[in-house]
Amino acid sequence: MDKLVYNSGMPEGEFGFQHIAVAPHPEISVAVEETEHIVSFLRDQGLRVTSGLLYDENFHHRINRGEFDLLIALGGDGTMLRAGHLCGPHGVPILGINMGRFGFLMEIQQDGWREAFQRLLQGDFWFEKRMMLIAEQVRGDRILGEWDVVNEAVVSRGGIVRPVQMEVNVDGRFLATYVADGMIAATPTGSTAYALAAGGPILPPELRTILLVPIAPHLSIDRGIVLAEGSSVAIKVHTTHQAVLSVDGQPPIELADGDYVNVHASSHTLQFIRFQDPGYFYRNLTPHMNQNPSIGITR
């Protein structure tokens, strides 16, 4: 059977990236070490390459200024989320090399990057486009904060083990009142993350939908709901104790009684570099589901 080639749109053999950034997770020593080899390899091909750490503010500013047109991220799925927050709003594609324990979002294993880079140089790859969300914290008539979302925005109880009452509206119309540990608003990418653990469905990554999944609902609707891309969700918190908003596992933001968390589709689209054929998602799903990402730390 002939090899299938899903080309990026460049002529075969023509490399289209002018300035490549290579960014390891700073706490994964093998990723930092491997970065040196990758930078040397790419420079030997005559390419312009810069290395930096994903948590370095100067590196963030350079991405924001549009200095790079490809980011190679070394780490685990958490690294890809961080890269997505940085690159998605600026249209910078991401290629992930797995140095973590799970790597569901990653494209290349640690020992396979040289072969993969040869394909990259030949234009033998495709862009996988994934939907992002925007989450806003609203108090009264003020927007207190706005965040890009790759996986999910979660409204939940804080340190006190007591459920939160949440009034959920979709497109300005009342949907339901939940008494639960929380509510997840996820992208299709996030459907295999926290939403899956909470009993939600697995959605194909190319879909452009919003997934709502309650967490441990008490005498409330206990099924996930899939909404169209154009929908907007408003989650109003009613609580006398702590409630929080957490975006993609980042540090929680405290919510006051009466605060809204509004979630809607972002105008930004996340782009991953892929070498596998588009059917890879289902082919890799079962092996990944047979692993337990909570054993150890996925960074």
pLDDT, average across residues 72-92: 95
In this structure, the strands spanning 253-255 and 243-247 are antiparallel
Most confident residue range from 56-65, 166-175, 281-290: 166-175
Q: How is residue 24 written in tokens?
A: 């390891």
In terms of residue numbers, what domain contains 194?
Answer: 132-267
Pair (282, 258) in one structural domain: no
Asked if residue 111 and residue 63 are part of one domain, the reply reads yes
Residue 63 lies in a domain: yes
Domain at 146, CATH number: 2.60.200.30
Is the model's pLDDT at 179 over the cut of 90? Answer: yes
Q: Is residue 11 part of a domain?
A: no
Is residue 231 within 8 A of residue 211, CB to CB? The reply is: no
Give the mean model confidence (pLDDT) for residues 146-151.
98
Could you give the number of structural domains in the chain?
A: 2
Look at residue 298 and tell me if it is in a domain.
Answer: no
Is residue 108 situated within a structural domain?
yes
> Where in the sequence numbering do the catalytic residues fall?
77
pLDDT at 73: 97
What is the reported pLDDT for 212?
Answer: 98
Question: Is 271:91 a contact under the CB 8 Å cutoff?
Answer: yes
Q: How confident is the model over 256-264, as a mean pLDDT?
A: 98
Question: Containing H/E element for 41?
Answer: helix 29-44
Q: Is the pLDDT of residue 191 over 60?
A: yes
Q: Which of 257, 130, 198, 230 is nearest to 212 (CA)?
A: 198
Averaged pLDDT, 146-161 = 95
Q: Is the domain of 195 the same as that of 98?
A: no
Q: Tell me the average pLDDT of the chain.
A: 90
223-256: b (≥16 Cβ within 10 Å) or e? ebbbbeeebebbbbbebeebbbbbbbeeebbebe
Please tell me what DSSP assigns to residue 103.
Answer: -
45, part of any domain? yes
Residue 244 pLDDT grade (very low, low, confident, very high; cuts 50, 70, 90): very high
- High-pLDDT (> 70) share of the chain, %: 91
Q: Exposed (0-12), middle (13-18) or buried (19+): which is 111, by Cβ within 10 Å?
A: exposed
Residue 102 lies in a domain: yes
**Residue 228 C-alpha from the chain's centroid:** 19
Q: What is the CATH number of the domain that holds 282?
A: 3.40.50.10330
